[in-house]
């Protein structure tokens, strides 16, 4: 089945610095989703990308889907302490009930 | 709307005991899934269902059973608990594009 690899596993930044996490697959993905999980919480959906080369923005967050639909990235500009948590990418199979999640990138922000 | 609810929030079991983790949703979604989350390993799919009466195995199904008699409920049964099943368990439904996760059940098997 589809597998998605996510890097880095951990990222520590000073408040105000930028942050990027990357998601890579050896196969073409039908879509990519991004989730955020706060410490002790549950994953919460951020966005879905489906088109080759797609770029979407949500305030300080920028999401990209690669031209070959094999990679994606999430970039946060000027991190804030509210950005702490683990960010996961995920991709669903043609059968929508089955999804594969990356192992996540855990972001800590030092004030 | 409560969304996705899970009970219990915490559970401690002894090796060999069985139990059922409950999951209920009020969003009328057909697709539901169970995941386990271990430190540093992300979310791994245990079982999923595409509708009432239909279930299928995910990535790590061994030691778990599911059934889906109604659209609303999707219980996960641990047949004979083992320490390796110590984890956080999340139930999720799938809407038009995203998954909605319940608050999770933290299970410890001693």
The pLDDT value given to residue A55: 98
Examine the pLDDT at B11 and tell me if it is beyond 80. Answer: yes
Q: Which residues of A touch B98 (CB under 8 A)?
A: 33, 45, 48
E strand map for chain A: 5-7, 10-14, 19-24, 32-37, 44-49, 55-58, 61-65, 71-76, 85-92, 99-101, 105-110
Q: Name the 3-class secondary structure at B20.
A: strand
CA distance B87 to B109: 9
Q: Which residues of B touch A104 (CB under 8 A)?
A: 42
Residue B44 vs residues A14, A34, A69: alpha-carbon distances, Å: 31, 16, 22
Average pLDDT over residues B96-101: 89
Q: Write out the two tokens for A22.
A: 């990357």
Examine the pLDDT at A96 and tell me if it is beyond 80. Answer: no
Q: What percent of chain B has pLDDT over 70?
A: 99
Average pLDDT over residues B58-70: 95
CA distance A38 to A40: 6
For A46-84, the pLDDT digits (tens) are: 999 999 999 999 999 999 999 999 999 999 999 999 999
Of residues B31, B41, B101, nearest to A96 (C-beta):
B31
CB contact under 8 A, A99 and B31: no
User: B22-54 burial, b for 16+ CB within 10 Å, e for fewer?
Assistant: bbbbeeebbbbbbbbbeeeebbbbbbbbbebee
Query: What phi and psi values does residue B38 have, to the nearest 5 degrees?
Result: -110, 150
CB contact under 8 A, B90 and A42: yes
CB contact under 8 A, A101 and B90: no
Query: What is the DSSP secondary structure assignment for residue B73, as one 8-state letter?
Result: B
Beta-carbon count within 10 A of B18 CB: 11
E strand map for B1-110: 4-7, 10-13, 19-25, 31-37, 43-51, 54-57, 64-66, 76-78, 87-94, 99-101, 105-109
pLDDT band at B2 (very low <50, low <70, confident <90, very high): confident
Chain B interface mutation, best of A45, A89, A98, highest count of B Cβ atoms under 10 Å: A98
Of residues A31, A42, A104, nearest to B103 (C-beta):
A42
CA-based nearest residue to B37, from B73, B85, B89? B89
For A8-28, the pLDDT digits (tens) are: 999 999 999 999 999 999 999
Q: Which residues of A touch B68 (CB under 8 A)?
A: none
The pLDDT value given to residue A17: 98
Does B42 touch chain A if contact means CB atoms closer than 8 Å? yes
Chain B: residue nearest A88 by CA? B42
């Amino acid at each position: 089945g589809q597998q998605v690899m996510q890097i880095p596993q951990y990222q520590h930044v000073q408040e105000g610095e930028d942050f990027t996490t990357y998601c890579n697959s050896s196969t073409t993905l039908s879509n990519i989703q991004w989730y955020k999980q706060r410490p002790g919480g549950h994953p919460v959906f951020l966005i879905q990308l489906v088109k080759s080369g797609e770029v979407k923005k949500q305030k300080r967050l920028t999401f990209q889907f690669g031209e070959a639909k094999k990679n994606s990235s999430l970039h946060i500009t000027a991190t804030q302490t509210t950005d702490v948590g683990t960010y996961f990418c995920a991709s669903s199979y043609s059968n929508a009930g089955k999804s594969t999640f990356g192992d996540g990138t855990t972001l800590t922000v030092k004030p | 709307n409560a969304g996705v609810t899970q009970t219990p929030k915490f559970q401690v079991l002894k090796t060999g005991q069985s139990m059922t983790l409950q999951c209920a949703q009020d969003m009328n979604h057909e697709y539901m899934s169970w995941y386990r989350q271990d430190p540093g390993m992300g979310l791994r799919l245990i079982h999923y269902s595409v509708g009432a009466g239909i279930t299928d195995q995910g990535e790590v199904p061994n030691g778990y059973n599911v059934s889906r008699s109604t659209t609303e409920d999707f219980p996960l049964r641990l047949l004979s608990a083992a320490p390796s099943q110590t984890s956080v368990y999340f139930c999720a439904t799938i809407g038009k594009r995203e998954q909605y996760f319940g608050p999770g059940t933290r299970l410890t098997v001693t």
